[in-house]
Amino acid sequence: MNRRGFIKSTILLSSSSVFINSCSGSSTHQSSKSFVNGFIISDAHIGWKGSDQPTLNEQKQAINTIRARFPHLDLFFDTGDLHHGYLNENERNEARDFWLTHLVDPFSDSFFSYVPGNHELGKGPNDEEQTATKIGSQNFRPYYSFDYHGIHFVSLPQLLDTILITQESLNWLEHDLYLNRHKTTLIFSHNSIKGTTYDNGETGYRVVVNSDKLLNIINKFDNVIAWLHGHNHQYEIVEKHNRLYVSNGRIGGFSPPTSWGHFGQGHLGGIYFEIHKHGLIIRCFSATKNKFLDELGYLNLAKTLKTNTSFDSLAQCNYYCGHGLLTNNVKYKMQNHYLSNEKPHISTKSLATNIINENHDFEFPTELYFANKKINRLIGYQVSPGSVEVKTTENGLELSNLKKGRFKINIPTLKVKKGMAKRGSYYRCESGDVFILTLDTAEIKTANLKVKLVIFNKEQNILHQTVVTEGQIIKTGEFKVSFSIPQIDHAYEKYLRVSLNFDNVPEKMMLNKLVLNKQGNSKGSSHLYLDNYQLPSHEKLAAITTDVKPKEIKYIGEKPVSTVLKFLDVKWQIRNAISEFVDDTIHVKEWSHNYQKNKTVVLTPIGQNHQVYLNKAIDLMPFRVSYHDSLIKIQSEKVASSTILVFKVLTTIKKIIGADNIQRQGHFLIVVPSSRTLEVHF
């Protein structure tokens, strides 16, 4: 690897002298690389009106400083809250456009990963998980992973609730970690794990509520050496459990009070890291001062974890996605942004339970804290009216202050107001699905119960609603009701909400459990379908290959499964567009979203020495990009004189054939084609 301009600086850490590399021009995609490096930004909070929020120009300048200081990053991460939560959809789209154009696109030659935060998943007029996967150019779900030069990187966001990692996500995480148990692993998330970085005691907002369950999984794998998160805005590095826990600072949003600790308050920036064969290096960077924070006196904000790693300069790049709770009969569309000539692998693991709702046995505490105040929240449910008091006990959930003798519970939490739904639309269903609702009550003589079923589409419009049971008298003990999803053909995505309306209840009552089961198909064995191509039964084969391209998944079987799809030997990461890769030719078929005014297609080669990237293509869909050792050829029926192509140039271009006009602007070439075929030789 060419390491021109690579600077070594010595700093003092924990009374021991260590060397930390300050990258001012380090890596290219060549096999001689001796490390992997990357940068993390977090919490841009574009659109927030708070006094600490930097202007858009200040955020652009911070990114320009990071880009200039670290011109050759292998990896670039954003760990969430790209915009603030209270924005309307037009404001959100403005924020998404700014984020993509000015915060992300400048790193077009780096492998990019986005971990959505609570503010963009909190509410919206559409399925916010789908929005996140589109804006982040992810294949399937917001949780995913990839291998880069032998190191494994995992995205693990909080989906249903700000402080909850869903069981679905945990199923997939454990499956993914097991498959990659021999690789050094770093996990990127938005929130922190309890008992690691500073959280101000705010258990209701700043730590994952099921941290113990999460750690029980992670601690099975000694190869997990770091958890890196956003959300809390401070710069912090804590070594614990033989790994580093890192808070990624801020590129926007509030500045933590100095009472929290010596955490780099007032500095916009992020985290620089390097992974060598023998360790992980973390340094917090101030873009405000264009210096590492340890150079400004924050010696606690740089650290080296000395450990043997699985770094391998010759290892291929693999991308992993899938579903941690894949149930029968539900179809999922996929977008492919990771292109390879290899066949994908599918690994499935049968799950022991059909339960799809979170916190079904009320294990999560209801007494939580936020902003130095006690709050009561029932994770996974919406209880109304607000005067109802909820409290978890050893036996379940205690509900009190039921003075009017009635209350309502919605699962999952879903509140639609002015066309914006607040989280919760995560129970995908399909016509013909059968569900069983089980309610276990205690200390109740009699009460009336009405169960209502509501089906939404991804725009939160009601497709169907019906009362499953009404006037049902329940007593102490177990009550069950089953219902099926009616035939609804005019919507691809369908989401389920169940409302339980209680009447004539005592002032206080106990619920031992509330379980929503999906009843599987007992006929035939379990199968996974890709493009209607049936793969072998997952009971018979744990890892298989198929010739079909994974655009649509369909699982049919009695039990849910955790599924991991592995895309082997990825050659290109394609952002903002859906693509195919055939015979060394990239076929860009359509935009994956419409969040950029000046639409961008970013083609980032992985593990190759190609140094010309097509950044922007206006009115160019669809098109084909063919590449060879010294040539990129672009062909499209839509190429005309009105088309503008912007190339990022990291090496000398020898000639461009088929261009009307060429202008240089810094590292970019603005090219106006004169024909439908453009050749760039370098």
pLDDT at 101: 93
Choose the weakest-confidence range: 41-50, 233-242, 399-408, 547-556: 547-556
pLDDT in tens, 376-427: 999 999 999 989 999 999 889 999 999 888 999 999 987 777 778 888 778 8
161: phi then psi, degrees, rounded to nearest 5: -150, 150
List the end-to-end C-alpha distance of the chain, in Å, as a whole number. Answer: 20
Tell me the residue type at 248: N
Q: What tokens does 566 get?
A: 């592995």
Residue 300, pLDDT above cutoff 80: yes
pLDDT at 583: 75
Q: 600, 104 in Cβ contact below 8 A?
A: no
Mean pLDDT of 299-304: 98
Mean pLDDT of 155-170: 96
The Cα 525–Cα 517 span in angstroms is 19
In order, the DSSP letters of 54-67 are PPHHHHHHHHHHHH
Mean pLDDT of 563-580: 90
Mean pLDDT of 119-134: 92
Residue 156, pLDDT above cutoff 60: yes
How many of the other CB atoms lie within 10 Å of CB of 214? Answer: 21
Mean pLDDT of 226-245: 97
Compare 259 and 108 and report the one with higher pLDDT. Answer: 259
Choose the weakest-confidence range: 322-336, 361-375, 498-512: 322-336
Q: 453, 465 in Cβ contact below 8 A?
A: yes
* Whole-number average pLDDT of the chain: 85
Name the percent of the chain lying above pLDDT 70.
Answer: 86
Compare 293 and 619 and report the one with higher pLDDT. Answer: 293
pLDDT at 629: 67
In order, the DSSP letters of 469-514 are EEEEEE-SEEEEEEEEPPP--S-SS-EEEEEEEEES--SSEEEEEE
- Find where tokens 């990839």 sit: 146
Q: 397, 378 in Cβ contact below 8 A?
A: yes
pLDDT band of residue 485 (cuts 50, 70, 90) is very high
Residue 35, pLDDT above cutoff 70: yes
Query: H/E element holding 211?
Result: helix 211-218
Residue 533, pLDDT above cutoff 70: no
Residue 42, pLDDT above cutoff 60: yes
Residue 359, pLDDT above cutoff 90: yes
Residue 146 burial (C-beta neighbours within 10 Å; 0-12, 13-18, 19+):
buried
The Cα 498–Cα 465 span in angstroms is 10
Residue 263, pLDDT above cutoff 70: yes
Distances in whole angstroms, Cα of residue 23 to Cα of each of 6, 108, 153, 639: 6, 18, 21, 39
Strands, sheet with 416-417, edge to edge from the N-terminal-most edge strand: 123-124, 420-422, 416-417
pLDDT at 555: 61
Beta strands 655-657 and 677-681 are antiparallel
Please name which of 593, 572, 568 lies closest in space to residue 581, comparing C-alpha atoms: 572
pLDDT at 676: 78
pLDDT band of residue 24 (cuts 50, 70, 90) is very low
Residues contacting residue 663 through CB under 8 Å, at least 6 positions apart: 669, 670
Mean pLDDT of 53-61: 98
Mean pLDDT of 75-92: 96
Q: Where are the alpha helices (DSSP H) in 20-166?
A: 56-69, 89-98, 118-121, 128-135
Q: Return the SS3 of 311.
A: coil
Please name which of 139, 144, 141, 136 lies closest in space to residue 120, comparing C-alpha atoms: 136
Mean pLDDT of 208-233: 98
199: phi then psi, degrees, rounded to nearest 5: -130, 5
Mean pLDDT of 539-548: 38
Q: Where are the alpha helices (DSSP H) in 358-414?
A: none
- Find where tokens 């493009």 sit: 531
Tell me the residue type at 316: Q
- Find where tokens 């996967």 sit: 133
The Cα 449–Cα 462 span in angstroms is 23
Mean pLDDT of 296-322: 96
The Cα 509–Cα 442 span in angstroms is 7
Half-sphere exposure of 414 toward its Cβ, with a 13 Å CA cutoff?
A: 27
* Local structure of residue 376 (DSSP, 8 states): E
Mean pLDDT of 497-523: 87
Residue 67, pLDDT above cutoff 90: yes
Q: 264, 298 in Cβ contact below 8 A?
A: yes
Q: Where are the alpha helices (DSSP H) in 88-210?
A: 89-98, 118-121, 128-135, 167-179
pLDDT at 246: 98
Q: Return the SS3 of 212.
A: helix
pLDDT at 5: 27
pLDDT in tens, 426-483: 889 988 889 999 999 887 777 889 999 999 998 888 999 999 988 777 777 888 999 9
Give the predicted TM-score (pTM) of the model: 0.91
pLDDT band of residue 491 (cuts 50, 70, 90) is confident
Residue 639, pLDDT above cutoff 80: no
Most confident region among 293-302, 534-543, 611-620 by mean pLDDT: 293-302
pLDDT in tens, 505-517: 888 889 999 999 9
pLDDT at 2: 30
243: phi then psi, degrees, rounded to nearest 5: -145, 170
